[in-house]
Amino acid sequence: MYDPLRAKAKVVFYTAVAVLCGLGIASGLGWTGVSNSMPVIESEPQIPESAVRPALDLSDAFVSIAETVTPAVVRIETRRVVRVANNQDPRRFFRTEPREVPRVSGGSGFIISDDGYILTNNHVVADADEITVFLFDRRSFTARLVGTDPFTDVAVIKLDGADDLNSISFGDSDALRVGEWIVAVGNPGFGGTGSQLDYTVTAGIVSAMGRPLQLIQRELDNHPETADNSGFAIEDFIQTDAVINPGNSGGPMVNLRGQVVGINSAIASRTGFYQGYGFAIPINLAKRVMRDLIEFGQVRRAYLGVQLQSITAVSAEAYGLPRVSGVEIAGVTGNGPAEEYGVRRYDVIVAVDGKAVGRVGKLQATIAERRPGDRVTLTVYRDKREIEVDVRLGEAPLDNQPVRVASAPATREHMDEKLGVRIEDLDRELAATYGYRRTGGAVITDIQPNGPASRQQVPLGWRVVEMNRQVVESAQDVRRVLDRVEGGDVVSLLLANNRNQQRIFHVRVPR
């Protein structure tokens, strides 16, 4: 007798047996991918710790630096009101009055004391109507401007009434060595509060010391209120390959001990963003400026009263120096400290208080770290021998009056073949062309491309004051001196521009 329930049970039984057999066969062929194909994840180190211990220690050092320094770094936001012209309405016949709009910018800074002083760049806070500081713990405060110094690009601001602040300690920028590890910290905060770029930490090495970029001087030249004194700019930058972008300006550069050794200040880039070169202001110079700004509200700048230029291989040969190092005195300011204590034109300063100064920026920074009235001992090469000159520093008179240089005139005299320059009498027409207030003397009116003078960067439009230490009062005086010059000789030119800034150039006559 047919039993439907029994038949149904048999079907279920045989079906289950078939499925199990199929799974067994599939598993044997590796088709299922269930249990025996699950990857085994290893978590054990594959390189012995002893083999990478130095790298791990360096990594831990970077972590410690970031944890220690970052809480002292702040984001600075500045606001100022600017007047902009309204666009003309095409339906009207008049232009509306200019309107005032707020402009927001900023950068980074770092807290240097528990009572709220902050060090940053001058260009971050200059001309600000309102300064807001954002801290690591997301608090924000209005800051007041203590003082700025455009000649070093250093500024100090202060938080009044803020507590529980983290500060950073200072190191010694003079002790930095090329190749030494440094860390650059910034707080660019692009996009406002809560931005994805609130804090950045980058590492690199010191690539070079004492870079004279002329960045500060160009910035001073572009502003009428500072252009008269752009010659007082001090540029002795630390160069690094650590990534520094515009919003990081004013942040600290620290050594592996977590001490600030510089203020991140500039980048060398054609795009405005990092391309491999970053620069920082040495903290020793910034610290000196900071103290004056806090104490006096402005910098009391020590003053030697000389016009300076760095030594080249040719000038070192001309002066009989033992090495290509030092600072050449191109001019001495009348009634200044240098003149009073016997410093002369054509002296070469090689050390201050026993510390070598091999370039202009280093000498400027060394003097800037002093105060007016301080005494310094200059080691000077004069007439191919070393002497010492004691000088009491004065205070810089920031009241120079510049005259702008116009375009070059049409040439008239023949080109001198020995130097590759054309030198003419400074008449009324040439004085007007080159911006001189008086006539008389001899002026360079043309320079042969790739000629001897051009290769030594002799400038167009400068007066020839002396040639081989002989006073020049006319173009004829120049020709008389050059008549006695032979191939292979080095000709020393003392030149002055229309601001009466003087420089010495040493040009070798081709054989």
Per-residue pLDDT tens for 28-40?
Answer: 555 555 555 778 8
Whole-angstrom CA distances from 455 to 4, 449, 481, 503 are 112, 8, 21, 16
400 pLDDT tier (thresholds 50, 70, 90): very low
CA distance 84 to 71: 38
123 is catalytic: yes
CA distance 279 to 237: 6
CA distance 326 to 311: 6
pLDDT at 176 > cutoff 50: yes
CA distance 105 to 128: 9
Which one from 173, 207, 249, 492 is the annotated catalytic residue? 249
pLDDT at 177 > cutoff 90: yes
Per 3-state DSSP, what percentage of the chain is helix, strand, and coil (rounded to 5)?
Answer: 25, 30, 45
Calculate mean pLDDT across residues 426-430. Answer: 88
Of 429, 421, 433, 432, nearest in space to 495 by CA: 421
Residues of the chain with pLDDT > 90, as a percent, come to 41
Cα R_g (the chain), whole angstroms: 34
Which tokens is 356 given? Answer: 């070598």
CA distance 347 to 336: 16
Identify which has the larger pLDDT, 122 or 92: 122
399 is catalytic: no
* pLDDT of amino acid 493: 92
Q: Which of 218-232, 369-383, 433-447 has the lowest mean pLDDT?
A: 218-232
249 is catalytic: yes
Calculate mean pLDDT across residues 40-44. Answer: 80
Calculate mean pLDDT across residues 399-416. Answer: 42
* Residue type (1 letter), 286: A
63 pLDDT tier (thresholds 50, 70, 90): very high
CA distance 499 to 115: 44
CA distance 437 to 331: 20
Instruction: Encode pLDDT of 467-498 as tens digits.
Output: 999 999 999 999 889 989 888 899 999 999 99
Contacts of 107 by beta carbon, 8 Å cutoff, 6+ apart:
76, 120, 121, 123, 124, 186, 188, 246, 247, 248, 249, 250, 251
Which tokens is 258 given? Answer: 């977590």
Asked if 110 contacts 72 with a C-beta cutoff of 8 angstroms, the reply is yes
Identify which has the larger pLDDT, 318 or 95: 318
* pLDDT of amino acid 191: 44
pLDDT at 194 > cutoff 60: no
Which one from 108, 149, 153, 347 is the annotated catalytic residue? 153
Of 243, 156, 147, nearest in space to 203 by CA: 243
Rounded to 5 degrees, what are φ and ψ at 457?
60, 40
Instruction: Encode pLDDT of 315-362 as tens digits.
Output: 999 899 999 999 999 888 888 999 999 999 999 999 999 999 888 888
How is 56-101 classified by DSSP, letter by letter?
HHHHHHHHHHHHHHGGGEEEEEEEEEEEEPPPPPTTSSSPPPPEEE
Domains in the chain, start-ordered, CATH in brackets?
68-86+98-296 (2.40.10.120), 302-395 (2.30.42.10), 421-508 (2.30.42.10)
Identify which has the larger pLDDT, 449 or 481: 481
Calculate mean pLDDT across residues 197-209. Answer: 86
CA distance 496 to 502: 4
Identify which has the larger pLDDT, 23 or 80: 80
Contacts of 34 by beta carbon, 8 Å cutoff, 6+ apart:
27
pLDDT at 228 > cutoff 60: no
* pLDDT of amino acid 17: 58
Which one from 123, 292, 310, 492 is the annotated catalytic residue? 123
* pLDDT of amino acid 403: 30
